[in-house]
């Protein structure tokens, strides 16, 4: 059967790793005052405005395996991913492998803080080599910058 536009994956996953549920209260001098629900609302608003028939599904977890299960369950419907993996950026080969298994789905890695201007252990990302790009240091705006890049790619 020919693949029609109707069959094309339409989901953008907006994923956040450990401790990002605390945005707004957690170290505001580093991560700012904006909460995660506010960031999600901004991303949803921009996707709706783009009017491309895309839908956003957001998920935050403090558990590596829960993130992996969530991504795996949506492999066939996903056309792009914006992910702030939090500390899993610097530790998780399992999350990287799961994202790499998505085969061609563009992945944008986002960090609120500039990870290269912080402690040395934050300078290495396991995710960066399998991402299309990384946006780091622009606070909540980074998610929107990532989204613009993603909209151009899908």
> Does the CA dihedral 100-102-106-107 come out positive or negative?
negative
When asked if residue 86 is in the footprint of ligand DQA (CB under 6 A), the reply is: yes
User: Is residue 67 at the binding interface for ligand DQA, with CB under 6 A as the rule?
Assistant: no
Where helices occur in 13-52 by DSSP H, the ranges are 28-31, 36-50
> Could you tell me how many residues of this chain bind ligand DQA (CB under 6 A)?
10
- Sketch the per residue contact string, 98 through 117, with ligand DQA: x for CB under 6 A, - otherwise: -------------xxx-x--
CB of 53 to ligand DQA, least distance (A): 29
Sorted by sequence, the CB contacts under 8 Å of residue 129 that are 6+ apart come out as 96
CB of 44 to ligand DQA, least distance (A): 19
97 vs 71, 78, 93, 106, 130, CA distance in Å? 11, 16, 6, 14, 9
Q: Which residue has the tokens 């935050």?
A: 60
Cβ closest to ligand DQA, residue 11 vs residue 122? 122
Q: Are 153 and 106 in contact (CB under 8 A)?
A: yes
From the list 63, 66, 90, 111, the catalytic residue is 111
CB of 19 to ligand DQA, least distance (A): 5
Annotation marks residue 126 as catalytic: no
Site residues (vs ligand DQA, CB under 6 A): 19, 84, 86-87, 89, 111-113, 115, 122
């Amino acid at each position: 059967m020919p693949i029609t536009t109707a069959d094309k994956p339409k989901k953008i996953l907006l994923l956040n790793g450990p401790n990002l549920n605390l945005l707004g209260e957690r170290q505001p001098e580093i991560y700012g005052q904006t909460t995660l629900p506010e960031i999600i609302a901004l991303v949803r608003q921009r996707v709706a405005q783009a009017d491309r028939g895309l839908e956003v599904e957001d998920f935050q977890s403090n558990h590596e395996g829960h993130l992996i299960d969530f991504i795996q369950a949506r492999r066939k419907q996903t056309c792009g991913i914006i992910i702030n993996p939090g500390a899993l950026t610097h530790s998780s080969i399992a999350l990287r492998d799961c994202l790499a298994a998505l085969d061609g789905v563009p992945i944008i890695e986002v960090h609120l803080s500039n990870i290269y201007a912080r402690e040395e252990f934050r300078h290495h990302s396991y995710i960066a080599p399998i991402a299309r790009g990384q946006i780091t240091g622009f606070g909540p705006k980074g998610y929107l910058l990532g989204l613009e890049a993603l909209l151009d790619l899908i």
